[in-house]
Structure 1
Amino acid sequence: MTAVRARRALVIDTPPTSNGDLHVGHLAGPFLAADVHARYLRSAGREVVFSTGTDDSQTYVLASARRNGLTPEELSGRSWHQIRQTLLDMGMSLDGFAPYDDRYRASVLDFVNALHAKGKFRLRTVRLPYSERTGEFLVEGLVRGDCPVCLVRSRGGLCESCGHPNNFDELLNPQSTVDPDDVVTAREAEILVLPMEEYREELTEYYRQRESRLRPHTVQLVREVLSRPLPDFPITYPISWGIPAPFPETPGQVVNAWVEGIPAVMYCTGYAAEQLGETHAADDELWRAEHDAEVIYFIGFDNVYFWGLTHVALLMAHEGRYVLPETIISNEFYELENEKFSTSLGHVVHSKDLLREVSRDLIRFYLAISAPEHQQTNFGRDALAKVTGDRLVDPWNRLACLLRASVAGAGLDSVPLPVSTAAKERSRAVLSRFRTCYELESYSLTRAAALIVDQLARLVRAAEALPQSTVDKERLGDLFFEVRTLLTGAAPILIDLAGGLSDRFEVGGDTVTAFALPLLERAVVR
């Protein structure tokens, strides 16, 4: 019988905005979650393409550059290098980190031109916030005000708090994010839009099929959005920063940065596949329906509307050409010392600074066990030191010392030790629990990290129960075998501690050879 080939997984870490380096809050959400899942899939024998790049066209880049006296090109170029280095330093196993270049821009234009040729866009006259001082329209990251849905302070386009869109002139009490004293009015402009209401039935059915695999907050937002008329999605804007729109109806306008999202990740996937040695005719090749790839999104909750609704509608508008995302794994906000991360106020911790004080395995473990999966959680330096020290470092070092003492002088360094059937059964049970944490139906970094803690405590108790006066090869073999199993399950998170011991997510072998467990250093943070 011919084995059924598993679908290739396209793991999408949504491209970060290139208006500065990544801080710990960024890493605690989609970045670590995507990396852990990609590592798990590879260890389980799946083909994976894990990729990202940067989102240079966002108006947040323009606003940040103006506030810092830079050109947006300078800021985005510098940020691209910083972000790539941060992801590398934190061990993110990206197959490719794509550049923002002419190839990228061509991929975006190919995607939108195909939709324009099919007549998918509509010309609309809308009212947009307008700066009387500069004579320019203020959209997305250039404007802030009060959300018309939840009344909380919001940027243009989308409310980070409730997740609902605020299109055009819907923001209450609008202000410029660059100059709060600027007089902001509203003026009419003709732009192209995607009429989202035309995709209501398809979107409703899409989420009906996937609702059981989504996190509750995502389900709530989707239900709320679909319970009211779907607003038109802007395809072009009359602003200066972005890719020039190629459409004759909107001369001088640019493509809305949020429209770039889908062709951007297609381009990133194509670039990453190229780094893996593959050759494809086009950057969107692996997304085409005939290849039946499993597309998996890891995103912050504040991006669910765009990535989960408008972007899915853009894919649907291509009339079956592409696969649709199989699953969306969202996360909530991560605070710093119980306050929101704020680069402008200096309330921020960058991973490059933290890595000077703490090993990346401890950082990854702490970010996993405190991950903001279903509610807002918090990063604290003292908490990092205590949690990693008490739950990981001390018990691991205790286990390492006990095993070292058990084999010292016994000549067992290269002697195969027997493994009992019971130890194999326990190992299979442990890996089954880790699979439950890493599979998408019940994906949870927090539970995976807690499982590491619980299994480590169990193994310490077993090591403490070893006889002191004699060497029990059977019990010692079982213990080393189960320690290796723990490292296999923990490997997607503890990438350095588990490095080199196992690259397959399975239980195998009737014997095991004793190996040295490296000691961990407790975190000392300032």
Structure 2
Amino acid sequence: MSQRTAIVIDTPPTSNGDLHVGHLAGPFMAADVHARYLRALGRPVVFSSGTDDSQTYVLASARRKGRTPEDLCGQSWHDIKQTLVDMGISLDGFAPYDDRYRASSLDFVTALHAAGKFRLKKVLLPYSERDGEFLVEGLVCGYCPVCLVESRGGLCESCGHPNNFDELLQPRSTVDPEDVVTHREAEILVLPMEEYRERLIAYYAEKRERLRPHTIGLVDELLAKPLPDFPITYPISWGIPAPFPETEGQVLNAWVEGIPAVMYCTAYAAEQLGEKHEDDHELWRAEHDAEVIYFIGFDNVYFWGLTHLALILAHEGKYVVPDTIISNEFYELENDKFSTSLGHVLYTKDLLREVPRDLIRFYLAVSCPEHQRTNFSREGLDKVAGRRLAEPWNRLANQLAKAVADLGIQSGVEGRELPVSADARQRAEAVLSRFRICYELSGYSLTRAADLIVAQLDRLNREALRPDQLGDLFYEVRALISGASPILIDLAAAVAEAGGFALQMEAPVLYAVAPFDVPLIGD
């Protein structure tokens, strides 16, 4: 088994509000389950996140709400952190956006500037004539020049293609659609992406088998034509001031912060684990050979898979590149897109007041948007989680409790062990092997893992409860919940406590087991 440190990255959420269910259904759940799986195997893991305060989406949201962006960021950081804790997302650290964050980002980019990696370029940018400011990223919307769908500035969420500078069609302000938007010239720093074409092609030739089809398709489309220059600075007021003499008064493009931000988050999380390192970038240095794993939405593939990778490559071998990129599609709410501005949203904290989180986690796994858009339905959650998980699990738990009582055996009493057959040991290992396949990155799938839980519950409920096979059933229940433990975190903890044993991703060789109280779900 590899002992490389696994750096699990969930892309930092924008701090313009709390997390809704759609946020959790994609990268956060997927990253959490994989991190828990690796820990169960004994791998060293650093799983981290933070907030992306520099995004212009923060500024746009604050203006629409009549708040200061600083106030919105501060509240959002606390709300997001609490939601992640409440959902059982096992982050080793949720980093603050502070002076250390800003210094870490500046260290990363100033080294590239000193090495001559950036170029000055005159570009046309959308401009608000009324307010006298440039409109970029979350401040401007229009139509994507590639797929002609409604898009924000910088990137189209629908097709995944960038729309830099003046490429957005019919641009308008996201804060005030009546504002007159023109274009004005500005001189900014850019990263010439074409200079990294051959290295990007080589990277994706090597990693192709570890990527989902939609990611491969987008990367192929992007690399089939000239790569647009990536803006390093913008002439706007919100963000980290750029320290470059050529672009005085400008700020870093928020997307440039992505890689140094997650390096900083990694260092912060490692400190929470008791580790101390030379600086915020150390764990990412090539000599440490960490395995970096991204969990991202499809709409982030261009930035994280190309521009951010190019920024790493621009450091000429100093840092590791990501081993695997696991992307997901959009998650809808009642067959329509989540929309905070339109009030079509379900916040995770509100759902947690009504439904036990294991049932939520199970439903999010079953309906995970791995390869295409999927849908959250409140009725669907009750039906699917109830019929496919809670009812069969509770039926099995009650049958086991009755069988133990009928035998006059008290659960947890030392010396009252039940025999386990060789066939049961073989079946348990077969089940755990299937779970491991679901959790390994080569075929990572929360949906298949959740379906496996259902299938095995059905099988175990069909087993005849003969007294001489009761030990086999307890042993296989233990194996099932071990495999399900990265998803059903509360049930797994209760089973482990009731049985007095650690849950493992490989079936232990046991010839007898003591019966244990099997907790119910949803009580």
Give the TM-score normalised by the residue count of structure 2: 0.97
Matched, 1:175 2:176: no
Runs of at least 5 residues in structure 1 that lack an aligned partner in the other structure: none
Match of 2:409 among 399, 411, 421: 411
The structural deviation recorded for 1:147 is 0.1
**Aligned equivalents of 2:453 and 2:100: distance in 1?**
43
The structural deviation recorded for 1:5 is 5.2
The amino acid across from 1:188 in the alignment is: E
**Aligned equivalents of 1:8 and 1:504: distance in 2?**
20
The structural deviation recorded for 1:519 is 1.4
Residues 299 and 329, structure 1, Cα contact 8 Å, conserved in 2? yes
- The residue number in structure 1 matching 2:361 is 364
- The residue number in structure 1 matching 2:421 is 420
The amino acid across from 2:450 in the alignment is: A
- The residue number in structure 1 matching 2:219 is 222
**Aligned equivalents of 2:521 and 2:267: distance in 1?**
39
The structural deviation recorded for 1:503 is 3.8
SS of structure 1 residue aligned to 2:305: helix
- The residue number in structure 2 matching 1:118 is 115
- The residue number in structure 1 matching 2:96 is 99
Residues 2 and 43, structure 2, Cα contact 8 Å, conserved in 1? no
- The residue number in structure 2 matching 1:440 is 441
- The residue number in structure 1 matching 2:506 is 506
Residues 45 and 504, structure 1, Cα contact 8 Å, conserved in 2? no
- Judging changes above 3 Å, is the alpha-carbon distance between structure 1 residues 148 and 5 closer, same or farther for their aligned structure 2 residues? closer
Residues 18 and 75, structure 1, Cα contact 8 Å, conserved in 2? yes
SS of structure 2 residue aligned to 1:408: helix
SS of structure 1 residue aligned to 2:296: strand
The amino acid across from 1:449 in the alignment is: A
**Aligned equivalents of 1:466 and 1:244: distance in 2?**
69
The structural deviation recorded for 1:48 is 0.2
**Aligned equivalents of 1:440 and 1:291: distance in 2?**
21
Cα deviation code 1:38-83 (max 9, x no counterpart): 0000001100000000000000000000000001000011000000
Matched, 1:326 2:323: yes
SS of structure 2 residue aligned to 1:347: coil
The amino acid across from 2:506 in the alignment is: E
Residues 234 and 252, structure 2, Cα contact 8 Å, conserved in 1? yes
**Aligned equivalents of 2:460 and 2:73: distance in 1?**
48
- The residue number in structure 2 matching 1:252 is 249
Matched, 1:490 2:489: no
Residues 396 and 460, structure 2, Cα contact 8 Å, conserved in 1? yes
The structural deviation recorded for 1:339 is 0.5
SS of structure 1 residue aligned to 2:113: helix
The amino acid across from 2:428 in the alignment is: S
Residues 9 and 49, structure 1, Cα contact 8 Å, conserved in 2? yes
**Aligned equivalents of 2:409 and 2:105: distance in 1?**
63
SS of structure 2 residue aligned to 1:499: helix
* Alignment RMSD (CA, Å): 0.9
The amino acid across from 1:477 in the alignment is: G
**Aligned equivalents of 1:46 and 1:72: distance in 2?**
39
- The residue number in structure 2 matching 1:184 is 181
- The residue number in structure 2 matching 1:305 is 302
SS of structure 1 residue aligned to 2:7: strand
Match of 2:473 among 467, 474, 479: 479
**Aligned equivalents of 2:522 and 2:287: distance in 1?**
50
Residues 478 and 503, structure 2, Cα contact 8 Å, conserved in 1? no
**Aligned equivalents of 2:331 and 2:266: distance in 1?**
27
**Aligned equivalents of 1:336 and 1:45: distance in 2?**
37
Residues 427 and 485, structure 1, Cα contact 8 Å, conserved in 2? yes
**Aligned equivalents of 2:454 and 2:483: distance in 1?**
12
**Aligned equivalents of 1:222 and 1:322: distance in 2?**
22
**Aligned equivalents of 1:121 and 1:286: distance in 2?**
25
**Aligned equivalents of 1:162 and 1:510: distance in 2?**
55
**Aligned equivalents of 1:308 and 1:461: distance in 2?**
47
The amino acid across from 2:504 in the alignment is: R
SS of structure 1 residue aligned to 2:337: coil
Residues 9 and 46, structure 1, Cα contact 8 Å, conserved in 2? yes
SS of structure 2 residue aligned to 1:30: helix
- The residue number in structure 1 matching 2:313 is 316
- The residue number in structure 1 matching 2:47 is 50
**Aligned equivalents of 2:2 and 2:217: distance in 1?**
35
**Aligned equivalents of 2:455 and 2:217: distance in 1?**
33
The alignment covers a number of residue pairs equal to 512
Residues 119 and 190, structure 2, Cα contact 8 Å, conserved in 1? yes
**Aligned equivalents of 1:105 and 1:119: distance in 2?**
21
Cα deviation code 1:151-193 (max 9, x no counterpart): 0000000000000000000000000001100000000000000
Matched, 1:163 2:160: yes
- The residue number in structure 1 matching 2:465 is 466
**Aligned equivalents of 1:97 and 1:521: distance in 2?**
29
- The residue number in structure 2 matching 1:7 is 4
SS of structure 2 residue aligned to 1:40: helix
The amino acid across from 1:504 in the alignment is: Q
The structural deviation recorded for 1:412 is 4.5
**Aligned equivalents of 2:493 and 2:60: distance in 1?**
42
Match of 1:132 among 105, 116, 129: 129
- The residue number in structure 2 matching 1:31 is 28
**Aligned equivalents of 2:348 and 2:490: distance in 1?**
17
The amino acid across from 1:466 in the alignment is: L
SS of structure 1 residue aligned to 2:247: coil
**Aligned equivalents of 2:176 and 2:398: distance in 1?**
60
SS of structure 1 residue aligned to 2:260: helix
**Aligned equivalents of 1:104 and 1:41: distance in 2?**
28
Cα deviation code 1:461-506 (max 9, x no counterpart): 11xx124xxx32xx10000000000000000000000115134312
Runs of at least 5 residues in structure 2 that lack an aligned partner in the other structure: 497-501
The amino acid across from 1:396 in the alignment is: W
The structural deviation recorded for 1:88 is 0.2
Cα deviation code 1:402-445 (max 9, x no counterpart): 10010005225221111111111111100110001000000000
The amino acid across from 1:411 in the alignment is: I
Cα deviation code 1:279-327 (max 9, x no counterpart): 1010111000000000000000000000000000000000000000000
- The residue number in structure 2 matching 1:521 is 522
Residues 24 and 350, structure 1, Cα contact 8 Å, conserved in 2? yes
The amino acid across from 2:122 in the alignment is: T
**Aligned equivalents of 2:82 and 2:131: distance in 1?**
36
**Aligned equivalents of 2:522 and 2:285: distance in 1?**
47
SS of structure 1 residue aligned to 2:246: coil
Give the TM-score normalised by the residue count of structure 1: 0.96
**Aligned equivalents of 1:430 and 1:250: distance in 2?**
59
**Aligned equivalents of 1:396 and 1:253: distance in 2?**
58
SS of structure 2 residue aligned to 1:497: helix
SS of structure 1 residue aligned to 2:120: strand
**Aligned equivalents of 1:42 and 1:234: distance in 2?**
38
Equivalences for residues 200-239 of structure 1 within 5 A = 200-239=197-236
Residues 331 and 372, structure 1, Cα contact 8 Å, conserved in 2? yes
- The residue number in structure 1 matching 2:499 is none
**Aligned equivalents of 2:77 and 2:230: distance in 1?**
28
